[in-house]
Structure 1
Amino acid sequence: MLTTVPLHSPDFYAGDPYPAYRELRATTPVVYNDVTNFWALLKYEDIRYVSSHPQLFSSTKGITIPDPDQPEPVQEGALIFTDPPRHRQLRKLINTAFTRRQVALLEPKVRQIVYGIFEEVKSGSVQEFAESFAAPLPTRMIAELLGASPDDWERFRRWSDACTGTADPEIELDAMEAIGELFEYFQQLIADRRNEPRNDMMSVLAHAEVDGARLSDEDLLNFAFLLLVAGNETTRNLIALGTLALIEHPEQRQKLIDNPALIPNAVEEMLRYTSPVTHMARHATEDVEIRGQLIRKGETVVMLYGSANRDEEIFGDDAEEFNVERNPNPHIAFGCGEHSCIGAQLARLEARVFFEVLLGRYPKLELVGDVDRMRATMVPGVKRMPVRMEAGV
């Protein structure tokens, strides 16, 4: 079944895709896009099925919506582009730095960064929220985790933007040039940590061993790239879009002001409602049938998380509504199955602390201009979002 909905277009994801998702879920939940040739899945259970069957749906040939103007940026051997059993081995090693205990130890550093971001904000002032508030926390946190100099976080952001915003005309740095600069930087950092370990994640990973196996320099380079791009853009988008949801739903914002203990639950709802990562793709390893549609071996399957996270069969009649008290909330904003996001707990921590401080200091938030999104199919990040921030009375 074909669709005229432009599911291949960055402009579609930078706009409001949800009405189209709702229509497709009801009419053609497994639909073919013949512009760049892929199957799109819109239902929650179908996406869980694909995610939990890596033997049928492989990650090795690419994970993004096909774009004839851009070759699929596959990094062979990188965690996000591997299937079992290699994927499990890599993930086991990298997990040593992302246990719940390890992430909990980072809260003082997250708070320090967040307090610094809000330090000189005057009540009633209009701030460029995306640039000044949403962007610095994840980028600085990643620099901190990897043991990079705090002064380098702006370079990290530049590299990250270039790698995710390949379709955005405002981004001048070429993606391949950015990857080259990034790898050169991290090669030196890895060599330093191999020789002289410190108290940072790169040192932990450089010396981690599971069943006698260690990560190679190439593995570490691939991981540093993944952490920078995936951990930066997605959390930045969560913070910006989560704030926008609070502005657009003042009654929900008031619930969090009255009861800050609800903030962790609200972060889960922000993840569901905004779906910072729009999709992941897989390639069928054999002929597979989903809802009566035959997907042939080698064809691309795109899992639309934003649609799945508003599937009425899972989230009920109020699936399109933003509800900070929603419980249960089995969203798949972090993916699911083999490739569920390894940094999910860190993203949750960053968002929780950010919104505790934001709402504690500036409960009155008002959008005073247009929200400008990056042209990108996977993470159409917020580039500009002017917000007036006022303290309570």
Structure 2
Amino acid sequence: MTRPTIDYNSNSPHYRENWVQIAEDFHASGKPIAWSDNYGGFWLVASHAAVNQIGSDWETFTSVNDLSGTENGGQGIVIPRSTYRLFLGESDPPLHTDRRRIEAPFFTPRSVRQWGPVAHGYLNEAVDALDGRGSGDLVDDVIIPTTARTTLHVLGYDPDDWRDAAYSAHAAVFLMPDDPGYPRDEQARLRQRFRDIILERRTNPTGDLITALAQGTVQGEPLSLDEAESMLNILVFGGFDTTTALVAHALIWLDDKPELKERLRDHAALRKNAVEEFLRVVTPATNIARTAVKDTEILGQKIAKGERVWMWLAGANRDPLVFESPNEIRLDRENARDHVAFSTGNHRCLGSPLAKVEAEAMLETILRRLPDMRIDHEGIKKYPRLGSINGFSAVPFRLDATAA
């Protein structure tokens, strides 16, 4: 069988500017699976059904990052492979299930209802700080302060100490690890701070999520400091730029649509569904990887043991077999919530309910409190690479009722 190939690199400038067309062409090929030689080689999969199959079959497609070479040979969930193990995300059941159980109580519907007012409060503070100013930046002045402070509040970390964490998370998603500007030192200091606070909560519990990590047990043993720090690390870094990118994309798209702005501001049900549709279309976290631990087959294509499979979440969310006219944004799309923006299977993002609550709160508040906001489209700066997050480093705006 001839192996289909594709030159796919989500960290490239070509992908950054053309990923929607790449997805459309990939689906038009009739079978959206192909081999790329980039980063040591991997299978790219954009079929919505196949992505759900791969993400749910952990016995065939492992998430493990076997850095020691003593486990199952898995190469983790990111490409290129990370040398820093994400203990929760890069594990399989039953170990993954036991680790996830520690965090789960903080993201139940009842718990998430508490965080909505928290997000509203931080967002109102950010908007209040714009008083008297005629301009600002959505990312730096409004959204990042809200998502960062809300996330840290949920964890039990000082929400006013958000700037270092936000910078480290922000820069790491658009710079490659070998870039001279990559925030390696900043991240190392932050991880040490995480370790210090975890150790402190072991003796002085406060009932928050950090305390749960500090005192949690996995398979009858206390969670190690490495495990706890890694899990806290991904909660922090995973909670900032994804929601920021989602809301920024939504507000950019809405900028010249005053009637839709009013409808979203005034109708909670439409706003809730719109967040799902924006998640489908934007897909802030673009890819997630697995490693085949045995020979198998996907979409009629043989996958060999040890080969990597990259689930293209953004591509799967443009699957025309699932979403009619997938490149159109339809705020009332009936199956918008069928997206895989939060991954799928056992590893579906635990914090997804919080992200959606934050996004809904920000859309309602910004549209209500800043009705005259106009985006400076010429000043928008996308991330130089979208391999991690489909986001922006700058989204300037003006507060001027007469602005174009």
TM-score, reference length from structure 2: 0.87
Deviations 1:192-250 (A, max 9, x none): 21111225321233344688554332222111111111111211111211222222655
Where do 1:1-393 residues align within 5 Å? 1-27=3-29, 28-36=31-39, 37-60=41-64, 61-66=75-80, 72-75=82-85, 78-122=87-131, 125-167=134-176, 172-175=181-184, 177-208=185-216, 214-247=222-255, 249-316=257-324, 318-329=325-336, 330-368=338-376, 369-374=378-383, 375-389=385-399
CA RMSD of aligned residues (A): 2.5
Read off the aligned partner of 2:38 and give its amino acid letter.
V
Q: Distance in 2 between matches of 1:311 and 1:248?
A: 27
Per-residue deviation at 1:252? 3.4
Deviations 1:309-344 (A, max 9, x none): 12111111x321111111222111111101000100
What's 2:69 paired with? none
Read off the aligned partner of 2:25 and give its amino acid letter.
E
Q: Distance in 1 between matches of 2:399 and 2:177?
A: 29
Q: Does structure 1 conserve the Cα–Cα contact (< 8 Å) formed by 2:195 and 2:229?
A: yes
Q: Does structure 1 conserve the Cα–Cα contact (< 8 Å) formed by 2:176 and 2:182?
A: no
Moved over 3 A (4+): 1-6, 168-171, 207-214, 248-252, 389-392
**Alpha-carbon distance change, 112 to 45 in structure 1, aligned in 2, over 3 angstroms:** same
Q: Distance in 1 between matches of 2:25 and 2:127?
A: 41
User: Helix, strand or coil: the match of 1:321?
Assistant: coil
**Alpha-carbon distance change, 241 to 13 in structure 1, aligned in 2, over 3 angstroms:** farther
**Alpha-carbon distance change, 248 to 19 in structure 1, aligned in 2, over 3 angstroms:** farther
Per-residue deviation at 1:180? 1.9
Q: Distance in 1 between matches of 2:293 and 2:307?
A: 8
Q: Distance in 2 between matches of 1:123 and 1:23?
A: 48
**Alpha-carbon distance change, 391 to 348 in structure 1, aligned in 2, over 3 angstroms:** farther
Deviations 1:104-163 (A, max 9, x none): 112222111010011133599332112212211121122222322233200111221343
Read off the aligned partner of 2:47 and give its amino acid letter.
K
Q: Distance in 1 between matches of 2:299 and 2:399?
A: 48
Q: Does structure 2 conserve the Cα–Cα contact (< 8 Å) formed by 1:279 and 1:303?
A: yes
Q: Distance in 1 between matches of 2:242 and 2:89?
A: 15
Read off the aligned partner of 2:235 and give its amino acid letter.
L
Q: Does structure 1 conserve the Cα–Cα contact (< 8 Å) formed by 2:4 and 2:33?
A: no
Percent identity among equivalent residues? 29
Read off the aligned partner of 1:129 and give its amino acid letter.
L
Q: Distance in 2 between matches of 1:250 and 1:65?
A: 40
Q: Distance in 2 between matches of 1:381 and 1:337?
A: 25
**Alpha-carbon distance change, 281 to 210 in structure 1, aligned in 2, over 3 angstroms:** closer
Read off the aligned partner of 1:65 and give its amino acid letter.
I
Q: Does structure 2 conserve the Cα–Cα contact (< 8 Å) formed by 1:123 and 1:362?
A: no
TM-score, reference length from structure 1: 0.90
Q: Distance in 2 between matches of 1:223 and 1:15?
A: 33
**Alpha-carbon distance change, 209 to 282 in structure 1, aligned in 2, over 3 angstroms:** closer
Read off the aligned partner of 2:174 and give its amino acid letter.
G
**Alpha-carbon distance change, 292 to 22 in structure 1, aligned in 2, over 3 angstroms:** same
Deviations 1:1-42 (A, max 9, x none): 444544343424433411110110110400111233111111
User: Helix, strand or coil: the match of 1:127?
Assistant: strand
Q: Distance in 1 between matches of 2:147 and 2:91?
A: 25
Per-residue deviation at 1:366? 2.8
Q: Does structure 1 conserve the Cα–Cα contact (< 8 Å) formed by 2:135 and 2:399?
A: yes
Q: Distance in 1 between matches of 2:221 and 2:270?
A: 42
Q: Does structure 2 conserve the Cα–Cα contact (< 8 Å) formed by 1:365 and 1:390?
A: yes
Q: Distance in 2 between matches of 1:169 and 1:270?
A: 32
Q: Distance in 2 between matches of 1:281 and 1:292?
A: 19
Alignment gaps of 5+ in structure 2: 65-74
User: 139-148 or 187-196, which moves further after superposition?
Assistant: 139-148
User: Helix, strand or coil: the match of 2:332?
Assistant: coil
User: Helix, strand or coil: the match of 2:123?
Assistant: helix
Q: Does structure 1 conserve the Cα–Cα contact (< 8 Å) formed by 2:119 and 2:147?
A: no
User: 257-266 or 233-242, which moves further after superposition?
Assistant: 257-266
User: Helix, strand or coil: the match of 2:291?
Assistant: strand
**Alpha-carbon distance change, 166 to 223 in structure 1, aligned in 2, over 3 angstroms:** same
User: 42-51 or 166-175, which moves further after superposition?
Assistant: 166-175
Alignment gaps of 5+ in structure 1: none
User: Helix, strand or coil: the match of 1:312?
Assistant: coil
